[in-house]
Amino acid sequence: MRFSFSLFAVVITLAICVPGRAQGRTYQLGSTPSEEEIKARDIAISPDGKELPPGSGTAKEGATIFAQKCAACHGPNGNGGGLTRGIVPLGNAKPVKIGFSLVPYATTVWDFISRAMPQSKPGSLTVNEVYAATAYVLYRNDIIKETDVLDAKTLPQVRMPNRDNFLPAEPGWKPGQKRPFGYYP
């Protein structure tokens, strides 16, 4: 009895310790990732911010981080490229890139800083540094105050200036439907 119990325990332990069990429904290929693997790789942040990790930062803190890790490319005042091209009203604008004006959600800024900055070592900022750098960028674009604290709750509530100035993808058009002559560009 004692022996069979041990064997049972060993089998159970083995089953738990081997996450590589084939799971694909039809072809039985691929393996089941661990929760930890998914968590470690799941860096995408949705507009509602549900994936935002705990942490916080202000523009004031962000200014220090900016000077240390961002100014080399973006310039000491952030006007060396990409950061403060200003918020441009969309009306009558030429159809050229006006970067920041076209960002609909503050989560987009957090997400891109988190995954792609600084360019020399993308993904190396701590969570608090990402919050602070995001706050600094938003502050420099006159979207939040210098002392506003950004965290998982407040960041998704930041209203980007042109949030409501976008049409849904090609109004009334769904992929596959014919469009009026000359719709493009």
Site residues, other proteins (CB under 8 A): 23-27, 29-33, 37-38, 41-48, 81-82, 89-105, 107-109, 111-112, 115-116, 119, 122-123, 162, 165-170, 175, 178-185
**CB nearer other proteins, residue 76 or residue 81:** 81
**Residues pairing with 57 in the sheet:** 150
Q: Specify the residue, 76 or 122, whose C-beta has the smaller distance to other proteins.
A: 122
Q: Which is nearer to other proteins, 58 or 107 (CB)?
A: 107
| AA identity, residue 89 | P
Structure token digits, residue 94: 């030429």
Residue 164: CB minimum distance to other proteins, A: 10
Phi/psi at 31 (nearest 5 deg)? -135, 165
Minimal distance in Å, beta carbon 143 to other proteins?
13
Q: How many CB atoms lie within 10 A of CB 74?
A: 21
Measuring CA to CA, how many Å separate 180 from each of 20, 53, 56, 149, 172?
51, 45, 48, 47, 11
Task: Give the burial string for 145-176 (b: 16+ CB within 10 Å, else e).
Answer: eeebbbbbebbbebebbbeeeeeeeeeeeeee
Smallest separation (angstroms) from other proteins to the CB of 76: 18
Residue among 2 and 174 whose Cβ is closer to other proteins: 174
Least distance (Å) from other proteins to the CB of residue 12?
Answer: 21
**CB within 8 Å of 165: residues ≥ 6 apart:** 90
In the complex with other proteins, which residue's Cβ is closer, 159 or 179?
179
In the complex, least distance from residue 148 CB atom to other proteins, rounded to whole angstroms? 21
